[in-house]
């Protein structure tokens, strides 16, 4: 029955796609796993606060806390009265434990042959010096420092040096424009910007300093710009304002006393885009955040001292904060840091890196996996990936077929896959398998971690025991956001106003008969087709299930009869031709996988999809294109020309 085009969708999802494959952990993996049984779950269920307190004890505290949690909805304080320092936990304590010689970072530059091997001793020295440089520039506890850097070790040093002196860092992804950088520096009222002359991306130099100059021209709070010499491209140094990193580091002392920070002192602000308008400055504090990332690193990634961990995320995203800088370094991990793109100089660069550094744990995003699928397995075949023992995925729902591809071609059927659901706001992973004990189902992030209380609710806040609805979190957790910078009202409204005392993450979710969670994308991506709420993600997965499809993005478009109809943008795997026949095959395939209700009205073949710089598909924009509306805000597009070409293609078809 048609509900008409004006009706606002009720956000309960008709979860239609089914996936029956189950992968049990091998006895061999379980035997060696950090988490071998359900004792953590039991502890957390018995006394959640005592459980989190035990987790926090894995950190080094200068002063223990007086109270585990103070909860005045929606404002939480964790480990109240405790004192610690993040850089001390990521560096000093490892040196004290005799791990100074251990490799902290295998850094690989994009140009051939560039590499650096950085020990914990070396990282410690650089961070201490940089902390002294910051101090000499007048940076004090509580001041904001903006970081706009390529993927070079100095980016991590800068974050840790801020935390050493209690300055608040705000990292802005190096792919962002001058406008985006300026807006974030102004909102944070940053005093110092640290950047580089340039960075390498796909064989070209990205002129970071030029972009930074344009941004700083409209950012009156910035007093100094500290510049790392990386690409040696020509830049202009503004007298007095701009300073060379290497010059000041050359003069700086080797030791800087770590500031004793309150558990609730702000560690960083990280901006994340809202569904509309102004980015939100998500606030994370010291004690709770570090507790979350340190423990999840051990549980979900099963990290051991001998592992070589590689998280491919840029430091500009929360994944780079939690699972490149703070989580792994708090655990004294050895990691890979790579500056460039996966297809430079060839499409096997990632696999070459895994082979070279003998990476054991590899953490990447579905968008990358789908690109690898599109390029084909020939790029993987001649690389030795035998060091790998665990794979991870983050950033979007992973389509079952992409999961299987990852399992077969990268994991060679022997590596567990951890599909990790979390957000900038949650600070650390909240829903994921524990690889030694959780049987996985391709496409499901499985179950919440110990201490995390999730439910699936309908619009009215009624719990859905089995079926589709909206994900919600019932109680606070240590690494949760503490607010939105300078905007507590927006914090309350965005996350805490949908249901009483419950966190609203904004994701659709389905709970299956085994209690497994299937994340279905943002609720604003749910389509209402003839009265059925259909998740774009399910239709995309059905399309990707067809062997000719590499990637797809599905949107709902206005339809007079059905309310909304389904439009699918499809990237074909190399060697397949876009044709009417393929359109019909794909429509029939979706009908077979999901049902006639999900039959796409339109299939549009395209070489690329518009994505945000963090790799998330911009469905709003596709909707605008599919419905022929104005293009809207494209400031977060990785490549705005993609949209233009898509648009003209679509318009051509529509005549």
Verify cis geometry, omega within 30 degrees of 0, for the bond prior to 345: yes
Which of 610, 614, 618, 650 contacts ligand 6R9 by CB under 6 A? 614
Which of 11, 118, 373, 445 touches ligand 6R9 (CB under 6 A)? 445
Taking CB under 6 A as the binding criterion, the range among 150-158, 374-382, 415-423, 481-489 that sits at the site for ligand 6R9 is 415-423
Closer residue to ligand 6R9 in complex, CB, 82/506: 506
One of 14, 314, 507, 540 touching ligand 6R9 (CB under 6 A): 507
The single residue among 34, 119, 272, 645 that binds ligand 6R9, judged by CB under 6 A, is 272
Comparing CA positions, the residue from 200, 159, 195, 202 lying closest to residue 178 is 195
Among 92, 197, 242, 396, binds ligand 6R9 (CB under 6 A): 396
* Interface pick for ligand 6R9 out of 128, 285, 424, 606 (rule CB under 6 A): 424
Q: Decide: is 19 part of the binding site for ligand 6R9 (CB under 6 A).
A: no
Which string of x and - marks every residue 217-256 that binds ligand 6R9 (by CB under 6 A)? ----------------------------------------
DSSP of 276-335:
SSSPEEEEEEHHHHHHHHHHHHHHHS---TT-EEEE---TTSHHHIIIIIIHHHHTT-EE
Taking the least distance from each CB to ligand 6R9, the nearer of 69 and 537 is 537
Residue 53 or 394 having the CB closest to ligand 6R9: 394
CB of 509 to ligand 6R9, least distance (A): 9
Rounded CA separation 7/358 (Å)? 54
- Distance, in Å, from the CA atom of 50 to the CA atom of 69, rounded to the nearest integer, reads 10
What single string gives the DSSP state of each residue in 398-424?
A: PPHHHHHHIIIIISTTTS-EEEEB--T
Minimum distance from residue 88 beta carbon to ligand 6R9 (Å) = 26
Q: Which is nearer to ligand 6R9, 41 or 522 (CB)?
A: 522
Q: Which stretch binds ligand 6R9 (CB under 6 A): 117-125, 208-216, 422-430, 449-457?
A: 422-430
What is d(CA 405, CA 419) in angstroms, rounded to the nearest whole number? 14
Stretch that binds ligand 6R9, among 86-94, 311-319, 367-375, 483-491 (CB under 6 A): 311-319
Q: Are 128 and 164 in contact (CB under 8 A)?
A: yes
Alpha-helical (H) ranges within 166-267 are 178-188, 208-216, 245-251
- Are 37 and 440 in contact by the 8 Å Cβ rule? The answer is no
310 binds ligand 6R9 (CB under 6 A): no
Which H or E element spans position 571?
strand 563-572
Contact status: 435 vs ligand 6R9 (CB under 6 A): no
| Nearest residue to 307 (alpha-carbon basis) of 8, 27, 32, 24 | 32
Q: Provide the 10 A C-beta neighbour count for residue 140.
A: 12
What DSSP character marks residue 390?
A: E
Residues whose CB is less than 8 angstroms from the CB of residue 525 and which lie 6 or more positions away in sequence, other chains included: 508, 535, 536, 537, 555, 619
- Asked if 525 touches ligand 6R9 (CB under 6 A), the answer is no
* Residue written as token pair 């004792």: 39
In the complex with ligand 6R9, which residue's Cβ is closer, 166 or 615?
615
Instruction: Give the three-class secondary structure for 349.
Output: helix
**CB 269, CB 283: distance < 8 Å:** yes
Which of 267, 445 has the CB closer to ligand 6R9?
445
**537 vs 554: CA distance, rounded Å:** 7
**Can you say how many angstroms the Cα of residue 623 is from the centroid of all Cα atoms in its chain?**
24
Element (H, E) at 509: strand 507-511
Which range in 29-37, 211-219, 400-408, 500-508 contacts ligand 6R9 by CB under 6 A?
A: 500-508
Closer Cβ to ligand 6R9, 84 or 431, answer by number: 431
Residue 612 contacts ligand 6R9 per CB under 6 A: no
* In the complex, least distance from residue 46 CB atom to ligand 6R9, rounded to whole angstroms: 28
Q: Minimal CA–CA distance to 353: which of 383, 377, 328?
A: 383
Size of the residue set binding ligand 6R9 (CB under 6 A): 21
| Interface with ligand 6R9, residue 397, by CB under 6 A | yes
Binding segment (CB under 6 A) for ligand 6R9, from list 246-254, 388-396, 458-466, 570-578: 388-396
Name which of 227 and 517 has its Cβ closer to ligand 6R9. Answer: 517
Name which of 317 and 350 has its Cβ closer to ligand 6R9.
317
- To the nearest whole angstrom, how small is the minimum distance from the Cβ of residue 507 to ligand 6R9? 5
Is position 213 an interface residue for ligand 6R9 (rule: CB under 6 A)?
no
Sign (positive or negative) of CA dihedral 560, 565, 571, 572 = negative
Stretch that binds ligand 6R9, among 132-140, 141-149, 324-332, 414-422 (CB under 6 A): 414-422
Q: Is 175 in the site for ligand 6R9 (CB under 6 A)?
A: no
| Residue 259 touches ligand 6R9, criterion: CB under 6 A | no
> Quick one: 395 or 451, whose CB is closer to ligand 6R9?
395
Which residue from 504, 523, 623 is spatially nearest to 12, judged by alpha carbons? 523
Identify the CA nearest to 391 among candidates 17, 29, 28, 116: 29
Cα separation, 333 vs 488, in Å, equals 36
Taking the least distance from each CB to ligand 6R9, the nearer of 244 and 504 is: 504
The verdict on 423 binding ligand 6R9 (CB under 6 A) reads yes
319 or 564, CB closer to ligand 6R9? 319
Asked if residue 582 binds ligand 6R9 (CB under 6 A), the reply is: no
Q: Which helix (H) or strand (E) holds 590?
A: helix 580-593
> DSSP secondary structure string, 34-46?
S--STHHHHHHHH
Q: How far is the CB of 481 from ligand 6R9 (least distance, A)?
A: 10
Q: How far is the CB of 555 from ligand 6R9 (least distance, A)?
A: 16
Give yes or no for a contact between 415 and 408, defined as CB atoms under 8 angstroms apart: no
Distance from chain centroid for Cα 270: 12
Place of tokens 């609730």: 264
Q: CA-based Rg of the chain, rounded to a whole angstrom?
A: 24
Token duo for residue 611: 């994505």
User: Dihedral through CA 316, CA 489, CA 187, CA 171, nearest 10?
Assistant: -10
Residue of 195, 420, 446, 546 interacting with ligand 6R9 (CB under 6 A): 420
- Does 522 interact with ligand 6R9 (rule: CB under 6 A)? yes
177 binds ligand 6R9 (CB under 6 A): no
Using the contact rule CB under 6 A, the part of the chain among 209-217, 234-242, 418-426, 550-558 near ligand 6R9 is 418-426
Among 55, 86, 215, 318, the residue binding ligand 6R9 under the rule CB under 6 A is 318
Q: Interface with ligand 6R9 includes 421 (CB under 6 A)?
A: yes
Binding site for ligand 6R9 (CB under 6 A): 272, 317-319, 394-397, 419-424, 445, 505-507, 519, 522, 614
């Amino acid at each position: 029955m048609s509900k008409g085009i004006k009706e606002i969708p009720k956000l309960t999802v008709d979860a239609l796609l089914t996936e029956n494959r189950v992968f049990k952990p091998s006895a061999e993996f379980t035997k060696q796993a950090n988490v071998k049984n359900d004792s953590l779950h039991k502890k957390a269920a018995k006394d959640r606060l005592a459980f989190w307190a035990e987790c926090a004890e894995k950190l080094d505290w200068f002063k223990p806390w007086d109270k585990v949690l103070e909860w005045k909805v929606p404002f939480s304080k964790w480990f109240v009265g405790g004192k610690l320092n993040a850089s001390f936990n990521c560096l000093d304590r490892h040196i004290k434990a005799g791990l100074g010689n251990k490799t902290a970072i295998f850094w690989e530059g994009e140009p051939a042959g560039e590499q650096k091997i950085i020990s914990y001793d070396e990282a410690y020295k650089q961070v201490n010096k940089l902390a002294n440089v910051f101090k000499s520039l007048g940076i004090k506890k509580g001041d904001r420092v903006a970081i706009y850097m390529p993927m070079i070790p100095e980016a991590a040093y800068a974050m840790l040096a801020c935390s050493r002196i209690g300055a608040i860092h705000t990292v802005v992804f190096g792919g962002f424009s001058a406008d985006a950088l300026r807006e974030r520096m102004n909102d944070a009222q940053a005093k110092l910007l640290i950047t580089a002359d340039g960075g390498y991306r796909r064989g070209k130099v990205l002129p970071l300093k030029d972009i930074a100059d344009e941004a700083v021209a409209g950012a009156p709070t910035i007093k100094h710009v500290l510049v790392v010499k990386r690409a040696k491209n020509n830049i202009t140094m503004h007298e007095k304002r701009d300073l060379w990193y290497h010059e000041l580091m050359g003069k700086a002392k080797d030791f800087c006393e770590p500031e004793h920070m309150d558990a609730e002192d702000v560690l960083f602000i990280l901006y994340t885009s809202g569904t509309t308008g102004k980015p939100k400055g998500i606030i994370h504090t010291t004690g709770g955040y570090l507790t979350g990332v340190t423990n999840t690193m051990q549980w979900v990634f099963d990290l051991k001292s001998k592992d070589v961990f590689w998280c491919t995320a840029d430091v500009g995203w929360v994944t780079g904060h939690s699972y490149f800088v703070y989580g792994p370094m708090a655990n004294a991990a050895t990691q890979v840091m790579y500056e460039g793109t996966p297809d430079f100089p060839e499409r096997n660069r990632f696999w070459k890196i895994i082979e070279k550094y003998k990476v054991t744990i590899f953490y990447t995003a579905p968008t990358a996996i789908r690109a690898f699928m599109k390029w084909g397995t020939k790029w993987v075949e001649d690389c030795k990936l035998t060091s790998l023992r665990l794979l991870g995925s983050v950033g979007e729902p992973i389509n079952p077929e992409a999961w299987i591809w990852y399992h077969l071609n990268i994991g060679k059927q022997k590596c567990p896959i951890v599909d990790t659901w979390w957000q900038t706001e949650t600070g650390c992973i909240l829903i994921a398998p524990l690889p030694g004990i959780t049987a996985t189902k391709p496409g499901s992030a499985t179950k919440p971690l110990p201490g995390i209380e999730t439910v699936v609710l309908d619009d009215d806040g009624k719990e859905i025991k089995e079926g589709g609805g909206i994900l919600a979190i019932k109680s606070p957790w240590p690494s949760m956001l503490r607010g939105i910078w300078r905007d507590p009202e927006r914090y309350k409204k965005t996350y805490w106003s949908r249901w009483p005392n419950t966190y609203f993450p904004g994701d659709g979710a389905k709970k299956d008969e085994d209690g497994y969670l299937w994340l279905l994308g943002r609720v604003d991506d749910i389509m209402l087709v003839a009265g059925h709420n259909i998740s774009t993600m399910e239709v995309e997965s059905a399309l990707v299930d067809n062997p000719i499809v590499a990637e797809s993005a599905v949107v709902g478009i206005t339809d007079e009869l059905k309310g909304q109809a389904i439009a699918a943008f499809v990237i074909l795997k190399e060697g397949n031709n876009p044709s009417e026949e393929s359109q019909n095959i794909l429509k029939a395939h979706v009908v077979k996988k999901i049902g006639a209700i999900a039959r796409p009205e339109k299939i549009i073949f395209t070489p690329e999809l518009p994505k945000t710089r963090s790799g998330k598909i911009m469905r709003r924009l596709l909707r605008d294109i599919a419905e022929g509306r104005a293009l809207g805000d494209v400031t977060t597009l990785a490549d705005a020309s993609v949209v233009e070409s898509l648009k003209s293609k679509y318009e051509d078809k529509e005549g």
